[in-house]
Structure 1
């Protein structure tokens, strides 16, 4: 079970003695729980040892996810928090507005909102998380209001409402039904009639059950789909959006307001596997049209063309034809392939099991794309390249 912080813990961790204790604990390898606990107890005493050690462990886990040096977290709050580039992107869409984060937790989103909003307010039912949010705002050098309040009982007017309902129960089990979110999704929407909303959800949510949302945005970071956001009241004229973020600060977006007319042609010189946010948002055709690509099959997300988009990992086609294991084994032998990446869409093929059966033994490295074109299984032997 994760450690349950108290208000006394937070007060100690914010003190000079607490900061020094966490710094000392953070300098340890933190690989031997028994030894770590014993050492921290000797340094700070029984009362605060668990809080100090847990904070050191959580700060280490936060590295690479949050720009949050010297922050305070609970384990659950850190797990649910948006990665900083994702939170920053969402906040940027609210720049210059009054914004109320009604489930602010420890402030991971609220800090980014406060950097760009006209006024920022956060609220939560948990007094410990509110104290942590206050500390984290001070550590980040931003100011915002805080209130202890139920997200289903409005305490602000007119501001855009931002929410991140919890999607795990007290036992840590994932909640799949919006009615089981905390607060429930329908109740959250009903509590703010006529208000602009931005509600963070899991990317696998069935968006057909959220007809109130004007726009569904899927967001990926460094190739991994992180979350969706349901927007209402921003008046963008867009109903579906895919946003692709990179840790280096670059990003791009495609929406359903763009053209989606594609040519019907034979496979080109390259195969492109679109970012997962594009696929999940149903914007494969729009992305293809933007970059002069077309589909191998209208029901499959793989794209093809003669010039891949910049900034992607694409697959240069070396050879292609009908797929059978026997034929593929012959192709691999002819190209002396020993290191093999297998990508599959539209076929019931387990890549790992197939690789074991193929037993590639050559010196070359290659990628195989297996898919279906019409009713016919097809195999593409490719060389993966990073396009600049």
Structure 2
């Protein structure tokens, strides 16, 4: 849960004395918790020590996630905030529009929206987070309005509604049902009749429970699926989209409007494991068709082909055949494998337990892809390569 900030804490952290204290403490190593607390207390006094120490530690955790601002946030707000790259991507679809973020929290999305929207409003029920959002907007050099309001009673009557419902209860347990979100997803939709919506959710949400969503977008960053966004009233003519973002600024998108006709062929020279956003969005065939690949099995997400797409980590097939532990162990011994990566899909195999049983002890490195073609378990002995 972290430290519980007060309005007085935020006022101090925004003051000249607070800014100076944060700058000084941020240069300290803070490796010894007891010593660190004593040092900060000597610098700023008992009243402000916890707020200063917590803020410095949260800013360190935020490196690589949130960029460009000396942020103020709570632990929970940092955990739920979208990475700046992801928030920036979502904001591009809102460029030139009036936008109201009804769960703005400390403003991680609000800052990016305000850079491109015509007019931006943020609201939240938590006055501390609103004051943090005010600071973060000023630090980022963007302007937006703020209001204290319940998301189920929006403080605006028009424009796009953006929301990021909390998906954990007071004990920190993850909520999976939309009715258990805060605010509840259906209640949020009912509170905004006829208005365009962009609602951020966890990527594991059962999207059959959100029939009002005209488009479901899955977003990954640097190979990790980060979130989904449910869109309504901002139609692009597709119902499913996978967006793959990289920290180097590159990105690409595949949608269900793309072709999905694939050939039926024997395994090719390479195996490709599609990005998780593509798999979660149900767009494996569309991705494969774009890059001249095909499926090993029409119920398995592994793809194969003779030339993998650029920018992916693919697996060059050195040999393959029916999977048994005995046969696989012989292959590893023949190739002198000691460092072994095991990928599994479609089989009830625990990679870690299998590795312990195989006991590879050689000097070479290899990857093994275990899957099934039809009902037959198959092992592919591969070398992983980064395709440029």
Instruction: Answer yes or no: same fold by TM over 0.5.
Output: yes
| 8 Å contact kept, 1:62–1:68 | no
Match of 2:223 in 1: 223
Task: Classify the secondary structure of the residue corresponding to 2:112.
Answer: helix
Q: Deviations along 1:14-55, whole A, 9 cap, x unmatched?
A: 011001111122112122221111111111111111101110
Write the distance in 1 (CA, Å) between the matches of 2:31 and 2:161.
41
Match of 1:122 in 2: 122
| 8 Å contact kept, 1:371–1:377 | yes
Q: CA deviation at 1:158?
A: 2.0
Write the distance in 2 (CA, Å) between the matches of 1:362 and 1:68.
47
Q: How much is the aligned-residue C-alpha RMSD, in angstroms? A: 0.8
Write the distance in 1 (CA, Å) between the matches of 2:30 and 2:298.
51
Match of 2:113 in 1: 113
Q: CA deviation at 1:68?
A: 4.3
Write the distance in 1 (CA, Å) between the matches of 2:264 and 2:144.
54
Pairs within 5 Å for 1:265-280: 265-280=265-280
Match of 1:100 in 2: 100
Task: Classify the secondary structure of the residue corresponding to 2:135.
Answer: helix
1:136 and 2:136 aligned: yes
Write the distance in 1 (CA, Å) between the matches of 2:30 and 2:165.
32
Q: CA deviation at 1:93?
A: 1.1
Match of 1:88 in 2: 88
* 4+ aligned runs moved over 6 Å, structure 1: none
1:31 and 2:53 aligned: no
Q: Deviations along 1:327-357, whole A, 9 cap, x unmatched?
A: 0111111122111110000001111111111
Write the distance in 1 (CA, Å) between the matches of 2:27 and 2:235.
49
- The runs of 5 or more residues in structure 1 that have no matched partner are none
Match of 2:289 in 1: 289
Q: Which piece of structure 1 moves more, 27-36 or 97-106?
A: 27-36
Write the distance in 1 (CA, Å) between the matches of 2:50 and 2:68.
21
- The runs of 5 or more residues in structure 2 that have no matched partner are none
Write the distance in 1 (CA, Å) between the matches of 2:123 and 2:206.
28
Pairs within 5 Å for 1:1-388: 1-388=1-388
Write the distance in 1 (CA, Å) between the matches of 2:155 and 2:361.
66
Q: Which piece of structure 1 moves more, 162-171 or 150-159?
A: 150-159
Q: CA deviation at 1:2?
A: 1.4
Task: Classify the secondary structure of the residue corresponding to 2:226.
Answer: strand
Write the distance in 2 (CA, Å) between the matches of 1:69 and 1:197.
27
Alignment: residue pair count: 388
Task: Classify the secondary structure of the residue corresponding to 2:231.
Answer: strand
Task: Classify the secondary structure of the residue corresponding to 2:384.
Answer: strand
